[in-house]
Structure 1
C-alpha cells in the first residue's frame, strides 16, 4: 500500500517526518518498505499561463508562445507540443531552472527565434513515463507560483507492506484510522452525502448465490462526458498511489477504491441489458477481459456478473471487454458489491490474474462500505463528467457497523500477557480509536464490539495484541521470564534411550495393531480392543503390551541370521477396563544370543535371566523407592525365570525368559524380556548432595542357611526394613547348594558394609548390627548361621 502523506493530511494532522511516521507504522506491524519523494528533484519551474500562440516563421511544428510566468514581461518561448493553446495553464521552466536528469534551461534560439524558457510535459518533470503534450494544469493556479508548491510535489510516499489480516488498511481511510490511534489525534472522517437521484432509470439486480455475494448495489448514470479531463489533484493522487490515470470514469472508480478500500466497476449501460445477474459461471462459457488480450474459460467455481445473455465480468476480479467504457460512453451502470473472501479465494490466480480488486476481496472488505463508496463515486462522476444519476438498487442487506458478538476483555488478562497494567482510560481510548464499541462491565472488565472492517478481531487475545501495538511494543517493560523446572520434558526418556543404545540396544517402533491370537498368547487374561475396520487380518486388535512387537521383530531378524539381538521400544499399551480404555506408556526390551561378542580367547557366554534383570536395575536407578524383584508367574514368561518388578511395594513391570511355547511358536531360542512402566522410570531425579564420611568402613560377611523357596530379595528387604543407621549397604555375593546342606536348603552369603560419619566404629558397633540382622532373619525366615 502506497501512502501519500499529503493525501493522509485530509484525514488528520501529520507533524512527524516521513521517517518517524514510517517507524511508528513499522513498530505497529505495518512494515515500511520504502520512502519515496512524490516527484524527482527539480527547481525553477513555475506555473505559466499561455497568453498567445503564433506559428513559428521557419518551422511548421513549432509555435511561438507568450507566457505569463510572474515576470514583469511575458516570456517568449518556442514550443513544439501539439496541445498548446492560448489560455492554457502549464509548467514553465524559466532560464536557470534544472529539470530531472541535470538538464539546465538556458536562453536559446530555435530556428532563429529566441526562447526564454521551456513549457514542460509531465514526462519532462519526471511525473510520468510518457506524455502526448504539455501538462495541463488547473486554470485557477496563479501564474508565477512555484510548481512544486502549487502541486504539492514536496510530498512523500510511504510504501507499506501489509500482512493479510490487515485488509482494513488497503484504503486511505483505514490507514488514517490507524495513524489516528497510533498518534492519538482526532480523525476527520467526514460524512459522505447521498447524491439525489434525478433520473428514474434503474437496473434489476438478481443475486443467485447470496453466500458469495451478500450485498450488491447498482446505479445508472446518464449524460456523462467520457472525454472529460480527470482533475489534476485526482490524477496526482492516483499516480502517487501507483495507479496510472486512464479516463475520468475509470479514474473515479480507482480513486474511491484507494480512498475507502472498496472496489467498484463501471459498465457501459448501452452494452449490457437492464438486468444484472450475480451467478456462477457455466461450463463452456468464456469471457474476454478488459483490453481484449485475454480470454478466460469459466467454470462453476467462478463467480461472474452477467446480464440476461452473457457474462460481463469476473466478479471482484476484472471486467469484460464487451461492456467496457470508452470515449463514446455516455451511460454507465456503476457497480458496488461485497464478495465473500472464500468465494474469490484463488480464482484470480487460477486465471493468471492479480488485480487491486481481487487483492482486497480475497483478504476481506468491510461490507458497510458499499453504500458509502457508491455515493462517493456517484458524486465525483457527476462533478467531473456531468450528467445525472438514478436511484441505487441494492440486493441484500447492509449489516451494522459493529459485529454482533461481544468480546470480553479483562484487565487481569492484559497484565498477564503484556506484563504491564494499562489504565482503564488508555484501554478504552485505544479501542475506540480503532472503531470498537466499548462497554464497561464488572470492575476491570469490558465488553468490546469489533468493527466489521477488522475481521481479525475475534477473541480477547486479539484485542490485547491491538493494545500492545498501539500503546507501543517498545514501551512494554523488559522483564526476564522466571525460571521453570530445570529438567526439560522427556529428558529422562532421552537419557534412558541413550543409555540403552550405549549398551548395544537398538530402538524399534512397531505397530499398535496386532493379531488377536498373538495377543491371546502373550496376554490371555486381557480381552483386547478390537478395531472396527482393521487394515489387515493380522492387525485386528490394539496391543495390550509391547512384547509381541519385539518378539516378532526378533523372529524376523533371527530368520536372517542375526542371532545376537538387544531391542527396546517405548510406546503405549491399550488395556480395556471398567472405566474405558487405559493407555499406558511402557518401556520394554528384548535380549537374545551371546552376552558378549564372539572372541578368540574363549567360548562366549549366552545371555541369562541375570543379564536381563541387570538391565532392569540400570533402568531403575532413578526410582523414588527401592527396586525389588519378586518371583511371580506371568503367562508369557518361563515359570522358573519370571519376576515382578517392584518399586517399594508398587508393581511397575516384569522381567523374565520368554515362555518355551511362545519361543517355539516364533522359532526362537532363549529370549529374555522386560517391561516397565515408563512413568516410573522415565524421569531424571534432581541430583542431591550426599556427604562422604571421613571414617573407614567395615565389612562383615554372614552365611545364612534358608529354605530353597525363600527368595534372596526377601532377605534383603527384611534387612532394609530394620533401618539400621550404621548399615550402609548389603551385598549378596554367593549362593551355595550341595555338600553340607540338607535337601531343600541353600546358603546365601551376605556382605554387610558399616560406616559412621562422626567416629570410627569399634567391635561393639559391628556386633550390634550383625546381631540385629541375624535375629531379624531368624524370626522372619527361620534362617540359621552356616558354620
Structure 2
C-alpha cells in the first residue's frame, strides 16, 4: 500500500519520499514538506525509514496543510505549478482573513463588492469596479419562464449554456478564494455560482437542463408536495412556500436550496443558470421551517440588490465559458416591474441633522458624504432631495440618511453634549399601585426577578394554558420558541428547571410582563405579575426549622402585594378548578366581582411531565386590576375602650373565611371595627361535613363607652346574618 516516489523539488537531484496515498501518480504536481518543515499541529517532518526505504519528506494532502477538514488523498496541483517554489508564495497563504460582523440591515455588504464600496466611502478612496462584459449569444436556445408568484419573485433571469466539459476542474485560485470565504469547493458550476455570490452578493443556482421538463415556473407550493434537496433530505412543502418548478415537479426551494432531481453532476453537459430577485418577506423564516440555513437564504432574507441579477448572470456565464467551455444562449429576463422595489425620493431637511446628531455639519460635507455613498443629491431650499442607489435598500426614510451621515462623518467627531431641556416632575397619583414597590417587596421576601422570552414552545403552552388559543409566530427563532405566551408561568417553570439542574434546591422567582391573548377581534396584551416558590420555606441555617413551602406561603406573599393597593376588603380569594393546578389547592383572586388572578400548586401530572420532583406553587395577577387603589385617610383614635367578643361557629366545611367575613361585615353595625378569625378546627365532636371557626369581634365607639346592651345587639346582628345566609350556628 506504499509507493516509493522520486520527487523533483527544484534541486540538482530528486529526493525519495515514501507515500501511502492512493491517488499518487507519476508526473503529477504536488505540495511537498521537506525534512525540517513544521505542519499544522506542530507536526515536524523528520528523516524516516518505512519498510526499509528511506523517506526524506512528505507529500501532503490539503488536510495536512490545514487547507481542509478532511482529504481522500494527496493534494493535486495544476500542471503549470512551478516546481521548487515555496507553497506559501504559490497560494499567497501569508495573507489575512477579515471577519466582518454585520447587522441584518446591511445586506449590501455581504459581498466583496459591497465591502469595497463601504471601505472606499469611509477612507475617501475611489473604488475600482471591474467591467463585466455581456457575453454574446452563440446559440439561440432559451428557456421559457412563467412568473406565477410575481409578488414574491418580481425578477427571474436565466440562461442556457450547452456543451460544457464534464471533466473540467475548478481552478485552484477559485478554490482558495472560496475556502478563505468559508465555502467548500464542490464542482465547477456550483463553485462559480458561489464565487459570484461572494464577489457580487447575488445568490445563483445551476440546473441540469436535461432534467427540466418544459418551462420554468416560479410559483407557490401546494400542500404536501415533496422535494429531495441537494443535501439528500426530503421535505414536504408547506402551502405558500416559494418554489422553482417545471411542468411536472418542484426543482428547488426558491432562494434556499436546489433539488436533487435537477442537480448538476459530473455527467451534465447542458445547464441553466438562474439569477433571481426574491422579496425578503417571501424567504424570511422559510429555511428555518425546514431546518435549513444556507448562504442563499441568509442573503435573500436580508435583501439583495434588485438590479444586480443580469450583471451577476453575465459574470457567471463568462466564468463558466472560461473554465468549462460551452456555448451560451440569450439571457431570458422576466420582470414584473410593478412588484420590484422602487427608488423613492427622500426629503432630507437641513435642520434635522443637528437635531438628531447633536452637531452642525456644513452643506458641502453633507453633500460630499451622500455623493460618495452613491446617492443622487439635489439641493432644495430647506435641504436636499435624495435618491438612494438600488444596493442600499436599507435607506428609505430621512432618519436613515442622517444615520449614514453620522456614521461616515465619524461618531468620534461628534462632541459630547449635555443638552439643556425643560424638566417637569410627573405627578404620581397617591392612590396608584407601584409595580417597583411590589418588586422590592418580593425581593425583601427572598424572591429574585426573572426575565424570560415572550415566545415559548407550543408543547409547554398546551400543557399550562390549554384553554388559550395559541398565537403562532410567522418567523420563529426556533420550533421551541414559536408560540406567544398566554401566561408567565411557562417561563418561570423553565427557569425553575434550569436552576434545579444546577442543584439549587430553594427557588423563589417573580416576573412581570405582557401575555398575549387572542380575542374575537384583536390580541390583548395585558401586563401581569407572577411568582413561583419551590423547596424549603426558610434558608438552611442552624436556627431555622426545616419545612417545605405550601399553599399558604404563596398566598401570604400574594396578599402582601394586594395590601399595597390599600383596599384589602375589595379582594377575595376563592377555591376554583384549574387544569394546570392541583385539585383542592387552586384559588382565584377576585376584586369587586371580577377575577383578576390565580394561585395554587402545580398539578402533579404537569409536575411529573416537566421532571420536577417537589411541589411547585405559583401565582399570577393582572396588574391593570390593581391600578385603582384606596387613598389613605385620617381616622381619629378613640379615647374609649374597645371590647372583644369571641364566637365559636359551626359552618359548612367547604365555606371560605372570605364569605363568612363578608357576611359578618355586611350585617355588623358601625361600632364593629374589625372581625378576625383565630382558630379553625375539624375532628372529634364535629360532624364530618362541618368545621368550627373561632372569630373575634372588636367593638368600639368614638363618642362613649359601649354598654352591654349595645354590644349584645351588635353580636346578635352578626350571628343572625350568619345563621340566615350561611346556616352558621353557635358551637355548644
Could you tell me the TM-score, scaled by structure 2's length? 0.59
Retained in 2: the 8 A contact 1:171–1:261? yes
SS in 2 for 1:164: coil
What's 1:380 paired with?
A: 319
Instruction: Please state how far the C-alpha of 1:204 moved relative to its aligned partner.
Output: 0.7
- Tell me the matched-pair count: 470
Out of 428, 435, 438, the residue aligned to residue 493 of structure 1 is 428
What's 2:240 paired with?
A: 301
Whole-Å Cα distance in 2 between the matches of residues 534 and 207 of structure 1? 36
What's 1:174 paired with?
A: 114
Retained in 2: the 8 A contact 1:287–1:298? yes
Out of 384, 397, 410, the residue aligned to residue 459 of structure 1 is 397
Whole-Å Cα distance in 2 between the matches of residues 386 and 78 of structure 1? 38
Instruction: Please state how far the C-alpha of 1:79 moved relative to its aligned partner.
Output: 2.7
What's 2:463 paired with?
A: none
Larger Rg: 1
SS in 2 for 1:96: coil
Instruction: Please state how far the C-alpha of 1:386 moved relative to its aligned partner.
Output: 1.2
SS in 1 for 2:18: strand
Q: Are residues 556 and 384 of structure 1, via their aligned partners in 2, closer, same or farther at CA, if it must alter by over 3 Å?
A: same
Instruction: Please state how far the C-alpha of 1:352 moved relative to its aligned partner.
Output: 1.5
Alignment of structure 1 residues 265-276 onto 2, 5 Å: 265-276=205-216
Retained in 2: the 8 A contact 1:65–1:77? yes
SS in 2 for 1:377: helix
What's 2:641 paired with?
A: 601
Moved more, 262-271 or 298-307: 298-307
- Which deviations, in whole Å up to 9, do the C-alpha atoms of 1:215-244 show, x marking residues without a partner? 001111111123321111111111111111
Instruction: Please state how far the C-alpha of 1:601 moved relative to its aligned partner.
Output: 3.4
Alignment of structure 1 residues 249-288 onto 2, 5 Å: 249-288=189-228
What's 2:410 paired with?
A: 472
Whole-Å Cα distance in 1 between the matches of residues 218 and 639 of structure 2? 85
Instruction: Please state how far the C-alpha of 1:667 moved relative to its aligned partner.
Output: 11
Instruction: Please state how far the C-alpha of 1:559 moved relative to its aligned partner.
Output: 12
Instruction: Please state how far the C-alpha of 1:279 moved relative to its aligned partner.
Output: 0.9
Whole-Å Cα distance in 1 between the matches of residues 18 and 344 of structure 2? 69
What's 2:2 paired with?
A: 61
Q: Does 1:91 align with 2:26?
A: no
Unaligned runs of 5+ in 2: 438-519, 523-565, 574-591, 593-626, 644-665, 671-732
Out of 462, 474, 481, the residue aligned to residue 419 of structure 2 is 481
Whole-Å Cα distance in 2 between the matches of residues 669 and 591 of structure 1? 23
Q: Are residues 557 and 230 of structure 1, via their aligned partners in 2, closer, same or farther at CA, if it must alter by over 3 Å?
A: closer
- Which deviations, in whole Å up to 9, do the C-alpha atoms of 1:20-52 show, x marking residues without a partner? xxxxxxxxxxxxxxxxxxxxxxxxxxxxxxxxx
Whole-Å Cα distance in 2 between the matches of residues 239 and 593 of structure 1? 77
Whole-Å Cα distance in 2 between the matches of residues 352 and 558 of structure 1? 49
Retained in 1: the 8 A contact 2:433–2:629? no
SS in 2 for 1:427: helix
Q: Are residues 358 and 185 of structure 1, via their aligned partners in 2, closer, same or farther at CA, if it must alter by over 3 Å?
A: same
Retained in 2: the 8 A contact 1:403–1:449? no
Q: Does 1:365 align with 2:304?
A: yes
Whole-Å Cα distance in 1 between the matches of residues 100 and 430 of structure 2? 50
- Which deviations, in whole Å up to 9, do the C-alpha atoms of 1:275-326 show, x marking residues without a partner? 101111112311111132x221123311111111111111111111111111
What's 1:165 paired with?
A: 105
Retained in 2: the 8 A contact 1:555–1:668? no
Whole-Å Cα distance in 1 between the matches of residues 94 and 301 of structure 2? 35
Whole-Å Cα distance in 1 between the matches of residues 360 and 669 of structure 2? 70
What's 2:269 paired with?
A: 330
Q: Are residues 238 and 399 of structure 1, via their aligned partners in 2, closer, same or farther at CA, if it must alter by over 3 Å?
A: farther
Instruction: Please state how far the C-alpha of 1:427 moved relative to its aligned partner.
Output: 2.1
- Which deviations, in whole Å up to 9, do the C-alpha atoms of 1:325-362 show, x marking residues without a partner? 11111111111111111122221111111111111111
Retained in 2: the 8 A contact 1:403–1:450? no
Whole-Å Cα distance in 2 between the matches of residues 311 and 534 of structure 1? 38
Out of 344, 355, 360, the residue aligned to residue 416 of structure 1 is 355
Q: Does 1:245 align with 2:185?
A: yes
Q: Are residues 399 and 104 of structure 1, via their aligned partners in 2, closer, same or farther at CA, if it must alter by over 3 Å?
A: farther
Whole-Å Cα distance in 2 between the matches of residues 420 and 402 of structure 1? 33
Q: Are residues 402 and 300 of structure 1, via their aligned partners in 2, closer, same or farther at CA, if it must alter by over 3 Å?
A: closer
Unaligned runs of 5+ in 1: 1-59, 503-532, 536-552, 561-566, 568-586, 604-665, 671-787
Whole-Å Cα distance in 1 between the matches of residues 521 and 192 of structure 2? 65
- Which deviations, in whole Å up to 9, do the C-alpha atoms of 1:397-455 show, x marking residues without a partner? 6799995322122333222222222233332232223221222233x622211112222
Q: Are residues 474 and 590 of structure 1, via their aligned partners in 2, closer, same or farther at CA, if it must alter by over 3 Å?
A: closer
SS in 1 for 2:351: helix
Whole-Å Cα distance in 1 between the matches of residues 78 and 137 of structure 2? 29
SS in 1 for 2:16: strand
Q: Are residues 402 and 477 of structure 1, via their aligned partners in 2, closer, same or farther at CA, if it must alter by over 3 Å?
A: farther
Out of 393, 405, 409, the residue aligned to residue 332 of structure 2 is 393
Instruction: Please state how far the C-alpha of 1:556 moved relative to its aligned partner.
Output: 8.8
Q: Are residues 402 and 143 of structure 1, via their aligned partners in 2, closer, same or farther at CA, if it must alter by over 3 Å?
A: farther
Instruction: Please state how far the C-alpha of 1:468 moved relative to its aligned partner.
Output: 1.2
Alignment of structure 1 residues 693-708 onto 2, 5 Å: none
Retained in 1: the 8 A contact 2:188–2:324? yes
Q: Does 1:111 align with 2:45?
A: no
Q: Are residues 456 and 600 of structure 1, via their aligned partners in 2, closer, same or farther at CA, if it must alter by over 3 Å?
A: farther
Instruction: Please state how far the C-alpha of 1:588 moved relative to its aligned partner.
Output: 10
What's 2:690 paired with?
A: none
Whole-Å Cα distance in 2 between the matches of residues 286 and 147 of structure 1? 47
SS in 2 for 1:156: coil
What's 1:430 paired with?
A: 369
Instruction: Please state how far the C-alpha of 1:497 moved relative to its aligned partner.
Output: 5.5
- Which deviations, in whole Å up to 9, do the C-alpha atoms of 1:738-766 show, x marking residues without a partner? xxxxxxxxxxxxxxxxxxxxxxxxxxxxx
What's 1:56 paired with?
A: none
What's 1:225 paired with?
A: 165
Retained in 2: the 8 A contact 1:367–1:398? no
Whole-Å Cα distance in 2 between the matches of residues 493 and 468 of structure 1? 38
SS in 1 for 2:133: coil
Whole-Å Cα distance in 2 between the matches of residues 558 and 354 of structure 1? 52
Instruction: Please state how far the C-alpha of 1:464 moved relative to its aligned partner.
Output: 1.1
Structural RMSD (CA): 3.6
SS in 1 for 2:168: coil
Out of 18, 37, 56, the residue aligned to residue 78 of structure 1 is 18
Retained in 1: the 8 A contact 2:222–2:240? no
Moved more, 111-120 or 209-218: 111-120
Retained in 1: the 8 A contact 2:138–2:328? yes
SS in 1 for 2:30: strand
Retained in 2: the 8 A contact 1:287–1:312? yes
Retained in 2: the 8 A contact 1:238–1:244? yes
Q: Are residues 224 and 669 of structure 1, via their aligned partners in 2, closer, same or farther at CA, if it must alter by over 3 Å?
A: farther
Q: Are residues 143 and 68 of structure 1, via their aligned partners in 2, closer, same or farther at CA, if it must alter by over 3 Å?
A: same
Instruction: Please state how far the C-alpha of 1:130 moved relative to its aligned partner.
Output: 1.2
Q: Are residues 104 and 534 of structure 1, via their aligned partners in 2, closer, same or farther at CA, if it must alter by over 3 Å?
A: closer
What's 2:345 paired with?
A: 406
Whole-Å Cα distance in 2 between the matches of residues 355 and 598 of structure 1? 79
Whole-Å Cα distance in 2 between the matches of residues 230 and 394 of structure 1? 28
Retained in 1: the 8 A contact 2:306–2:341? no
